[in-house]
Amino acid sequence: MSQIGSFALLLALGLSAYSFLAGFLALFGKDAASARLGETARRAGIATFAAVLLAGIVLVMAAFNNDFSIAYIFHHSNRDLPAAYKFAVLWSGQEGSLLFWSLLLAGYGFVLRLRYKTDQRLFAYASVIIASVQVFFLLILNFAALPFGLMQGSLPADGSGLNPLLQYPEMVIHPPMLYLGYVGFTVPFAFALGALIMKYPGDRWIHITRRWTMVTWCFLTIGVFLGAHWAYAVLGWGGYWGWDPVENASLMPWLTGTAFLHSVMMQEKRGMLKVWNMSLIFATFLLSMLGTFLTRSGVISSVHAFAQSSIGTWFLVFIVLTLAVCTFFLVANRSYLKSEHKLESLVSRESSFLFNNLLLLVVCFTILWGTFFPILSEFVQGHKVTVGPPFFNRVAVPVALLLLLLTAVGPLLAWRKTSLESLKRNFLFPALGSLTIGVMMIVFGVRPWEDPSFFYATMAAVLSALVIFTVVSEFLRGGRVIAGKSHQNLLSAMIHLCHRNTRRYGGYIVHFGVALVVIGILGTPFNKEVEKEMGFGDKISIGPYTLVCQSYTQDDNPNYANEWAIMNVFRSGKQITTMYPERRFYKASQQPQTLPRIYPSFREDFFLVSDLYLVYEGRNETTGQPIIKAHVNPLVPWIWIGLIVMVFGTIVALVPNAAAVRVAATTPIRAPAHVGAGD
Amino acid sequence: MKFPFRFRFWVAQRFSAAISAPSLPALAAEGQRDGKSARRLFHALILCAAIFLFMGAGDDSARFKDLGHRMMCTCGCGQVLLECNHVGCQSSEKMRGELQAALDKGGSNSDDLVLQGFVQEYGPTVIAAPTATGFNRVAWIMPFLVLALGIAFAVHVVRSWKNRPEPALADGITIRPGSELDEFRRRARKETDL
């Protein structure tokens, strides 16, 4: 089986190399022979997908067949591993995840090459660039990180099993989502670089890649948040984001990708920021690669990192080469990227986009800087320092709050110029509403002056409310106009409004989701935790809850032995639920793992929902008594709801617009005036 | 950073004196226009800032929580000391005990001394964020420097956009004056009201 897989990878390398070289040569000719050569390159690119898919299938089948002669399968699987996790073996280790990356890239390339008729010349350039990235990954898979490498010596009877932390349902979804995001940015990158090299006229490449970029961004968003949720639901420390280098690596391309999604509108609407947009998409692709480099090189220590290996050098060379190529063409073809319009007013959507981009990039820089500062420190001072959560919280949070302010204000600004009168009119209700929220927080006992974290929480609440009120007021205002003209009810009118400009209103829904996420985060300073050794009938009180330990029980299955506590949860003297925090011991890997249980109090609190989070930490070695740790984490469920809203908003933005409703002008207009649409 | 109780008491006294003073309009009405009111306001602001800066100093459990969040667990989990709870972690338990013991020694053991003790035992990586000394200051300065430079650059870009000449038009086309375009925009917005 390993021979089939190895052969498929070698074949894929040959095909992608041909696709790259033949496609590259075909770009220079304009005759029929070049066209035929280009066509063979396109077909080789399509065939690459089939070959890499075959390799992927072989690896998964090897996991299902317990083929421990393959070293990768031995290290990441065992006989009693559940089927879903055997499938997840594909991305559980270094070599498999590189194969998975290559497979996704080949898949994206496959779709792109099938749709080549949209614009044959631009697609040919993009196809060559994608083929070059594909060649890089297949070179690694064939020569540096072999997924089908064989075990040395006698054949083991069973594998050493999958890392227990990865044996969680979300781990079957989180990595594919993240990879779909990382890899997906190759497509807009390829189109952007292609358009730059060929000096492609106009902004058609942006229109072609708009949906690709949004879908990719959506995947990356889901991937990042699922990662956070996995950390919350599995690691058992009661938090969801630890500013780990690998978490940071996934956030950086997300930030530049978000900046790109905003600034690209400037190019579409006003023909501005062309160099900036190119740079942003290049940066996003390079940061995706940098994230992969960080995870795999061993340069930075992280709990998420794969084993240290030599492939870091491969990635470093590739990143430097790509950076050099991008910089060269940006400089050489800069005349092609001249802006077409001038700015009419400082108070305009254009300015807000510029500052939004600036803040997103400053946050991105802060994360990059903090991630690499330990290496710099070692170089300069001779010793490493830790750059952990206190640094990122202190530096990134104030900038993120400014960004939230712009998220609220930006949509109220019109393209080109905004009059003070309209700003006042649009801003009054949201500003008053958000200030009321701030006052209410103080009235209900939050003291922003007592601790910086309370101050940030209050500011975050006020600004999130501002974003929400802004979005709601925009929907209400537009909905009322349509309801008045078409005699629909307000809800149908708002749906109609949304359908008329899906991108704009989908974007607003995404902003709404972001505000919900921030609301979920701002509860952190108010977290509570208690740890106690608990025998039968013992009680813990935390927040509004009283927990009574009813019993402990054990179980055993071929994959793991487990023990869990049975905890009755009381609130206001009434039992509301029973929770079962669990501790497992995986037999193949001989590793223990805790599985917290979480109870979100939607029924009791709804808007001010909090998570009751129980961890069965194990037994005290001296007394033998079980130890239970309880957390009450206010507002956290809003983070996950916010994600759902963000994904929904992105889906809305992807829906094509409905035809515009024509409304007769009340008085004749003397001359046509060009006013930018309000995306 | 913990300040002596006497100092915090003095700060609180000065602050309450400042806020209980007559309000500015009242002072103005009394004819005290010799700068006293402005000085009082200035004092009040300084004291507010001082309280904001010095806040957080509290009892030992708050100190334990504060210091425990300024250190990393050394087991390799990459988590802040008080947030490391992974099964069988020997380091965090021991370090928490040492931290509590250091705090139990009393007032002479300042936060900096406690942290220094941990650095001596576990190395500089035990501190969760770069200290504000020597080269480590660069870690804190750079993001804000980049933000400042970025803002300056953005302002420069916006100004250059604003001052850019209008694009050349084909013969026979005239640009309407700005006020007239504004009028068109106003009408368009009014009629679409979106």
Decide if pLDDT at B185 tops 70. Answer: no
- The Cα–Cα gap between A255 and A15 comes to 34
Identify whether the C-beta of residue A628 lies closer than 8 Å to the C-beta of residue A581: yes
- Shortest CA distance from B83: residue in chain A: A237
Q: What is the mean pLDDT of residues A565-585?
A: 92
User: For A30-42, how does the pLDDT look when each residue is reduced to its tens digit (9 = 90+)?
Assistant: 888 888 999 999 9
| Backbone phi, psi, residue A583, to 5° | -135, 130
- Shortest CA distance from A392: residue in chain B: B129
Alpha-carbon gap: B22 to the closest alpha carbon of chain A (Å): 23
Longest dimension (CA), chain A: 90
> What's the pLDDT band for A446 if we cut at 50, 70, 90?
confident
- Number of Cβ atoms within 10 Å of the Cβ of A38: 24
Which range is most confident: A379-388, A433-442, A525-534? Answer: A433-442
Q: What is the pLDDT of residue A660?
A: 56
A673 touches chain B (CB under 8 A): yes
Q: Do A663 and B191 touch (CB under 8 A)?
A: yes
**What residues does A549 pair with on adjacent strands?**
A567
Displacement of CA B95 from its chain's centroid (Å)? 29
- Shortest CA distance from A300: residue in chain B: B78
Identify whether the C-beta of residue A574 lies closer than 8 Å to the C-beta of residue A592: no
Q: What is the mean pLDDT of residues A290-308?
A: 67
Q: What is the pLDDT of residue B83?
A: 80
b/e per residue, A226-253, with b = 16+ CB within 10 A?
bbbbbbbbbbbbbbbbbbbbbbbbbbbb
Q: Do A377 and B176 touch (CB under 8 A)?
A: no
Percent share of chain A, pLDDT over 70 = 94
What sign does the dihedral A29-A31-A37-A38 (CA atoms) show?
positive
**What residues does B71 pair with on adjacent strands?**
B127
The helix (run of H) or strand (run of E) holding residue A586 is: strand A582-586
For the record, the structure tokens of A302 come out as 């992280």
Overall pTM > 0.80: yes
A395: closest CA among B38, B81, B17, B142? B142
A412: closest CA among A466, A493, A492? A466
The residue behind tokens 């600034």 is A263
Q: What is the pLDDT of residue B40?
A: 60
Identify whether the C-beta of residue A336 lies closer than 8 Å to the C-beta of residue A205: no
Decide if pLDDT at A333 tops 90. Answer: no
- Which residues have a Cβ under 8 Å from the Cβ of A635 and sit 6 or more positions away? A519, A520, A521, A522, A523, A608, A609, A610
B45 touches chain A (CB under 8 A): no
Q: Which of A386, A397, A499 to mutate to test the interface with B (most CBs of B within 10 A)?
A: A386
Identify whether the C-beta of residue A249 lies closer than 8 Å to the C-beta of residue A290: yes
Q: What is the pLDDT of residue B47?
A: 53
Exposed/middle/buried for residue B134 (C-beta within 10 Å: 0-12, 13-18, 19+): exposed
Q: What is the mean pLDDT of residues A608-617?
A: 91
**What residues does A539 pair with on adjacent strands?**
A548
- Number of Cβ atoms within 10 Å of the Cβ of A594: 21
- The Cα–Cα gap between A546 and A542 comes to 6
Stretch among A120-129, A405-414, B103-112 having the lowest mean pLDDT: B103-112
* Set of chain A residues whose Cβ sits within 8 Å of the Cβ of B55: 449-452
Residues 159 through 178 of chain B touching chain A, CB cutoff 8 Å:
161-167, 176, 178
- The Cα–Cα gap between A231 and B138 comes to 31
- The Cα–Cα gap between B37 and B21 comes to 9
User: For B121-143, how does the pLDDT look when each residue is reduced to its tens digit (9 = 90+)?
Assistant: 888 889 999 988 889 999 999 99
Please give the angle made by the CA atoms of A161, A164 and A169, to the nearest 5 degrees.
Answer: 110
**What residues does A611 pair with on adjacent strands?**
A600, A633
Q: Do A395 and B143 touch (CB under 8 A)?
A: yes
- Which residues have a Cβ under 8 Å from the Cβ of A163 and sit 6 or more positions away? A76, A92, A589, A591
Strand A560-571 to A582-586 pairing: antiparallel
Q: What is the pLDDT of residue B189?
A: 62
Q: Do A385 and B127 touch (CB under 8 A)?
A: yes
* Set of chain B residues whose Cβ sits within 8 Å of the Cβ of A422: 189
Identify whether the C-beta of residue A648 lies closer than 8 Å to the C-beta of residue A509: yes
- Number of Cβ atoms within 10 Å of the Cβ of A75: 21
Q: DSSP secondary structure string, A117-174?
A: GG-HHHHHHHHHHHHHHHHHHHHHHHHTS-TTPBPPSSPPSS-----GGG-SHHHHHH
Q: Do A236 and B188 touch (CB under 8 A)?
A: no
Identify whether the C-beta of residue A463 lies closer than 8 Å to the C-beta of residue A408: yes
User: For A193-222, how does the pLDDT look when each residue is reduced to its tens digit (9 = 90+)?
Assistant: 999 998 887 777 888 888 889 999 999 999
Q: What is the mean pLDDT of residues A218-235?
A: 92
Please give the angle made by the CA atoms of B172, B177 and B181, to the nearest 5 degrees.
Answer: 105
**What residues does A567 pair with on adjacent strands?**
A549, A579
Q: Which of B16, B65, B85, B149 to mutate to test the interface with A (most CBs of A within 10 A)?
A: B85
Among candidates B80, B140, B194 on the partner chain, residue whose Cβ is nearest the Cβ of A388: B80
Decide if pLDDT at A673 tops 50. Answer: no
**What residues does A571 pair with on adjacent strands?**
A545, A574
| Backbone Cα Rg of chain B | 29
Q: What is the mean pLDDT of residues A581-594?
A: 85
- Number of Cβ atoms within 10 Å of the Cβ of A451: 16
Amino acid at A524: T
Q: Do A303 and B185 touch (CB under 8 A)?
A: no
Stretch among A306-310, A595-599, B27-31, B49-53 having the lowest mean pLDDT: B27-31
- Number of Cβ atoms within 10 Å of the Cβ of A299: 19
- The Cα–Cα gap between A614 and A237 comes to 10
A451 touches chain B (CB under 8 A): yes
B184 touches chain A (CB under 8 A): yes
Q: What is the mean pLDDT of residues A404-433?
A: 83
Top-confidence residue, B187 or A594:
A594
Among candidates A351, A387, A618 on the partner chain, residue whose Cβ is nearest the Cβ of B129: A387
A390 touches chain B (CB under 8 A): yes
A302 touches chain B (CB under 8 A): yes
Q: What is the mean pLDDT of residues B20-25?
A: 39
The helix (run of H) or strand (run of E) holding residue A255 is: helix A245-270
Q: What is the pLDDT of residue B18?
A: 41
- Which residues have a Cβ under 8 Å from the Cβ of A359 and sit 6 or more positions away? A399, A400, A402, A403, A406
* Set of chain A residues whose Cβ sits within 8 Å of the Cβ of B193: 477, 481
Q: Do B147 and A346 touch (CB under 8 A)?
A: no
Decide if pLDDT at B34 tops 60. Answer: no
- Shortest CA distance from B93: residue in chain A: A620
For all residues of chain A together, what is the average pLDDT? Answer: 87
DSSP A231: I
> What's the pLDDT band for B2 if we cut at 50, 70, 90?
very low
- The Cα–Cα gap between B68 and A42 comes to 58
A355 touches chain B (CB under 8 A): yes
- The Cα–Cα gap between A39 and A30 comes to 13
User: For A165-202, how does the pLDDT look when each residue is reduced to its tens digit (9 = 90+)?
Assistant: 888 888 888 889 999 999 999 999 999 999 999 888 77
A288: closest CA among A259, A252, A327? A252
| Alpha helices by DSSP H, A65-93 | 71-76, 83-88
Decide if pLDDT at A555 tops 80. Answer: yes
Alpha-carbon gap: B120 to the closest alpha carbon of chain A (Å): 14
- Shortest CA distance from A621: residue in chain B: B88
Say whether A568 sits in a helix, a strand or coil.
strand
Q: What is the pLDDT of residue B3?
A: 44
Alpha-carbon gap: A21 to the closest alpha carbon of chain B (Å): 41
Among candidates B79, B134, B144 on the partner chain, residue whose Cβ is nearest the Cβ of A237: B79
Identify whether the C-beta of residue B74 lies closer than 8 Å to the C-beta of residue B95: yes
Decide if pLDDT at A107 tops 60. Answer: yes
B97 touches chain A (CB under 8 A): no
Q: What is the pLDDT of residue B26?
A: 42
A7 touches chain B (CB under 8 A): no
- Which residues have a Cβ under 8 Å from the Cβ of B183 and sit 6 or more positions away? none
Say whether A210 sits in a helix, a strand or coil.
helix
DSSP A232: I
Alpha-carbon gap: B12 to the closest alpha carbon of chain A (Å): 13
> What's the pLDDT band for A307 if we cut at 50, 70, 90?
low
> What's the pLDDT band for B78 if we cut at 50, 70, 90?
confident
The answer to ipTM > 0.90 is no
The residue behind tokens 């050569």 is A37
**What residues does A630 pair with on adjacent strands?**
A530, A614
A356: closest CA among A224, A258, A267, A431? A258
Identify whether the C-beta of residue A512 lies closer than 8 Å to the C-beta of residue A645: yes
For the record, the structure tokens of B91 come out as 């380091």
Decide if pLDDT at A89 tops 50. Answer: yes
A413: closest CA among A659, A609, A676? A676
Q: What is the pLDDT of residue A170?
A: 83
- Which residues have a Cβ under 8 Å from the Cβ of A406 and sit 6 or more positions away? A352, A355, A356, A359
Decide if pLDDT at A605 tops 80. Answer: yes
Q: Do B143 and A451 touch (CB under 8 A)?
A: no
Query: What Cα–Cα distance (Å) separates residue A27 from each residue in A21, A33, A196, A322?
Result: 10, 11, 14, 19
B63: closest CA among B91, B92, B103? B103
Query: What Cα–Cα distance (Å) separates residue A572 from each residue in A203, A544, A569, B137?
Result: 62, 7, 10, 50
Question: In A209-343, which ranges are E strands?
Answer: none
Top-confidence residue, A89 or A308:
A89
Among candidates B51, B80, B167 on the partner chain, residue whose Cβ is nearest the Cβ of A340: B167
Decide if pLDDT at A308 tops 70. Answer: no
Q: What is the pLDDT of residue A242?
A: 85
Identify whether the C-beta of residue A369 lies closer than 8 Å to the C-beta of residue B139: yes
Residues 502 through 561 of chain A touching chain B, CB cutoff 8 Å:
none
> What's the pLDDT band for B179 if we cut at 50, 70, 90?
low
